[in-house]
Structure 1
């Protein structure tokens, strides 16, 4: 006789009310002792507040300290909390007020809508607003607008206060540059770091490049101000910093009305204070170093603030290593038959991580000329069929599919609104609400991904169509190239893939990649 095992009936009440997973968010806008004490008070308050509610389950506490609230990107804990909401770890967020959550109307509404789409509500204690029971966004928009104005007003007051301290010379530099320490609000020379500063200036005056200086410091394992690695950019910034002469220029940067920071090129007043602190470098050494940096830039046809500074060669930033994915850098060879070559930056830093050897610049240029001449010769058989194929895409059908997906997304949103209404009025148990809402959210996410995929496909095809048309027009009207032309390369090539020293691929802006062999 077969053995039969009885599985007992599940008598659990499936409609048993599940506890809401509640998290709290706190923020203080400065790192002063008084504000940090306020933060400690908030933390204790929310821990006891959430744990005191028998229908709530404590889901964590997120807090940002010493960080401005004007932009969400500057608050890592807020972003971590949103990520946990996306991972279904939080059902409700409690925060003190709208101004603590966001002082930017756009960010506030964007975050609220994003969390509502995830089925997560926010309760603002001060304003007594629960986004789960709001009929519209009007009140939240008004209040967050007021919070933004409050933030702007505080920022303007702070700017005025700082400007006054600039003018009367009482502004304190809280984070001095490498070579100095902050002692009771004053800049004091750090003797060990000052030796490195003098070394850097002496080597600049001796003609050594910033890359070589950075490499030497890294090889000697001398840490930077923050304990990191030296770079040529760090060295250039130090050599151009007037603070090493004992002088200081205030307001070299400024923040606009949208809370974005800019370098000050005369848009705002600047304030120079001479003999502000002890000097490490003399004015004569400093001026001589500036002259050397400026002369070196002229020799390389570079100017400060020029867009060509980082991309002064047609291949700059466009050559990709097929082995490690790193970008190639231009190298100058003092001997041999290839004075200029391009080499993988990873290989330069550590040959063990990438064995890809350099490719002569002349070989890349010759390969490009060969590839373009093939297109000029065979544009009728290569580019025309591609153009006809792209034009044959049924864009009307694609747009109809997008409209159908938009309609489904609207219906999905309406169904979720109905669920919210039923739950807030007590007609629906939270457990059933969560199950149904999660299913709708999953469906909405699937529809959004499908729409994004179709839209991206359609946009790419339109872009490719335009690029193929331009390339066909060029190749059909141009005679064979006899030499490399950087403007033609920049116009039609997006990047170069180096597969080996004998094979590279030109990824064109029209979406196709053409391989060429390098003939030695």
Structure 2
């Protein structure tokens, strides 16, 4: 039998304490009941107040202590009420949990839709992987919608941020900037002649032709120019 030593972690942000009624004491009460039910030995209780989940564990005072306990093999189980007490998103949770799994440490989440799940079981690991997969799907769908919206705006010459080189913003419409359009023609010509991106940037700077907002040209700035489908 593996040792059943465990660390419990509770966290609230200031906003949660004031607007949502989430309390450290309430979380601890539920975790104590879970420890009793599972027969886990509580080695240490870590409380994190006024800390956002967007901050990585290693940058939180309590999170750093938690990682020390897990990394030092002092505990074999880590218990929290929900995933968002520990991690900023499902991808972060999956990455860190896999590392803990290799170290022989199981993550227990006491409230997952009213059920307890832990990565010591095959079903718990499967559930975590599915959660991360759905989170990745959501991010991909958002990225696709964003790209589709941007493409429509470019096709209709609608303004978007930042205003691209060669155009000025007139309300919600992009209008051509004649001087910058001439520079774009030069850049396209040099690209067709096989000039490297650093060479083009150097030549534009040598001629004292500023990039947007008076900035200097760089290879990365030049690279964007011929690739932007706004220019056709």
What TM-score comes out, normalization by structure 1 length? 0.26
Higher relative contact order (CA 8 A, sep 6+): 2
Higher helix share: 2
Looking at CA atoms only, which structure, 1 or 2, has the larger radius of gyration?
Answer: 1
